Structure formats: structure tokens, C-alpha cells
Amino acid sequence: THQADHLGGAALKQARKALAKGQPFFISVTPTMPHWGACYAGCPPGSAAAQKADPEDPCHEFFLSDPTPPKKQGRFRPMPISPCPTVRHAHAFAGKSNPHIQSIWNVSATGPLPQSMQQYSKLNVMDTWAAEREDMGWRNRSAALLDLDFLIGDLMQGLADLGVINNTYVVFTSDNGYHLGEHKMPFGKGYPYETDVSLPMYVRGPGIAAGATFHHPTTHLDITATIVDLAEAQQHAPYSSLDGKSFKSALLSGAGSKAAAEAWRQYSFSEFFLNNDTWQQVRVINTTHRFSYAWWCTEDAEVFDLEADAFQMANLAGEEGFGKAVQEEFHAMALGLGACSGASCSALPPGAPTPPLQCYK
């Protein structure tokens, strides 16, 4: 059974159990549909027999050889991109290709490049073969999102059938974004760029105006605090113990303007830990500016003016004026947010000084 056909029913089953006991419910549904993954648990990766029997199973993408001439003895190039969509949607995007934004796809940023990004700048990793693999992965991801769309429809209809749709808050978001060729990176999700860290989030429920847009720079930690707030469960999870900040008041008041967001909090924080790809980032949004500052464990800095450079193609770190001013003001803040806890994570400045960022091994 495909997860698209299972998770909705499983979630609604839990809701029915709670309602039968006269209890409220919290259910987290975590489909992995657009994520890379094998169609069958028993798929032997790299097995020639399995690849012949089911050549479209994504498990084989970890064991690809680049056939591009001049052939380098079957150069090993894993490209694990595709999920496994349902049969009914598997070919919904046949003939389509990964949209390329010419100013960012297969183009490196100007200005200082972090060590991890220098490798992509120097190598021609985005060749024809890689682009074709990206196109296939994009088609499969898009098809899997149709499966996700139907799952969400099943959940919403199920809540309506149970008579609780107007008394239930529903939050939809993702755990990460992704890149497919942007900044010359073939595929992945773990870099401090908008493609990877800027995520969708939708919230619906009683008291929330339909179609309202909010500029608040939230994180997933804030979702936890908001759920506690909406559920009036502070006695079980005191705000002082939560790293996030509730945005319940904004949701229910409809105050989504940049000025309202600035009064709530002006920044969000992201971090990633993997060898030399270890970094910490602050993204700032207020009524006058929108920018990001990232500090890598290799002692590389990136400053992007997101108002003028939405695709982050001009690193201003080290430049006189805006670039240096951002570094001087937000470097300590980025490191501090990586070590904060509780309410201090939403206050300025964020706690005590911290040691240098170490490359995670």
C-alpha cells in the first residue's frame, strides 16, 4: 500500500478514537512522498537483476554510472533525487523538465565563495547527463506532490465528515527545501540558501482569516510554541522552556504586515552540521531590510541582500558598507542562537558568547 493511500486513513482513525473518548487530539502526519526513496523495502540497491526487473525504482539512483563520453570506466555518480509516486500519477508530468532560472541555475555566486561552494564553481558537475537526471527527478517529485495533494484532500474531507473541520487547526509545512542545479549544485537540501531554507507554511482553523498572508520570519520551533498556545497547554510545556515563540496572536488578529512582523521578531535561524558543510544562518526581515548572514565552520561568511538579490548571487561579505555592517552586527548573534535555549532564543542579543563553530565530524 502506498503511503498516499494509507496515512490519511491512519490519521483519521486516531481522531475517531479521541472523539469517541470526548478528548481533543493532536496528530502529526509526516508523509515522505516528494523525498527520495525506494518503491519497495526489499529492493537490493545496485543489483543488476533488480535494476532489470524494475529500472524505474529510485533505489537504483544511489548506484548510477555516468555514461557521458569520454567514458571514465563507468564513473560512479549517485543522483538520489526521485521519490516513488503512485502508479496513477507516475507519468503525470511526462515530457516536462525541471524549470531553470537562468540567473541562478548552473551559475556560481560572485564574491567570496565558501570552501564547500568552491568545488561546484570549479567543476562542470551540471553537464547534460546530470541535467537529464534532474529532469527525471523533478518529474517524479511533481508526480509525488499530486499524491500529497490527494492525501491532504482526504484528511480535510475526513475532518469534515467527523464534524470537527471548523474546530481544528491544520498546519502544513515542510522540513526542508531543495536545490536542483541552483548555484551549480546538482541536488540536495543542506545549504544556507533560500532554495533550501525558505519553506511553505499554511495554517487554517477557527479565527484565522482565509487568504491572509503573514511576513513573520518563523521557524519550526515557533510552530511548537504556537500549538501549545492554541491548545492552552502551557501548564504542560511552559513558554520559558520552549526555544520557539508563539505566533497565535498574529494568526487570530490577522496582523500579518511587515510592521507587525517586525514587532513580533525580526529574524529566523537555521543551522546544518555535516563536515565542512557545517554552518549557522540568521535571516532578517523588517520594514527596511531583508537579508541573510551565514557563517561556515571553515570561517567563510556570506551576506546576501535579499531585497536586491533574491537568488543570492552576490555575496557582500567583506565589502565596505552593508556587507561589513551585517557581519559586525550579526556574527555573534548567529553563534549565540546556535547555543541558546528557551525564551532567550527570541530576544536580542541571544545569550552569552559562544566558542567558534566547529566543523561537525
Q: Return per-residue pLDDT of the chain as tens, 361 residues.
A: 899 999 999 999 999 999 999 999 999 999 999 999 878 765 655 555 555 556 667 877 877 777 766 655 456 788 899 999 999 999 999 999 999 998 999 999 999 999 999 999 988 788 888 999 999 999 999 999 999 999 999 999 999 999 999 999 999 999 999 999 999 999 999 999 999 999 999 999 999 999 999 999 999 999 999 999 999 999 999 988 999 999 999 999 999 999 999 999 999 999 999 999 999 999 999 999 999 999 999 999 999 999 999 999 999 999 999 999 999 999 999 998 988 889 889 886 655 566 789 999 8
HEC secondary structure over 207-248: CCCCCCCCCCCCCHHHHHHHHHHHCCCCCCCCHHHCCCCCCH
C-alpha cell at 310: 533574491
For residues 117 and 108, is the Cβ–Cβ distance under 8 A? Answer: yes
Selection from 162, 172, 222 nearest residue 199 by Cα: 172
For residues 191 and 222, is the Cβ–Cβ distance under 8 A? Answer: no
The percent of the chain in helix, strand and coil, each rounded to the nearest 5, is: 35, 10, 55
DSSP 129-150: HHHHHHHHHHHHHHHHHHHHHH
The predicted model scores a pTM of 0.91
The angle formed by the CA atoms of residues 287, 114 and 173, to the nearest 5 degrees, is 50
Selection from 133, 63, 57, 52 nearest residue 98 by Cα: 133
Helix (H) or strand (E) holding 204: strand 201-204
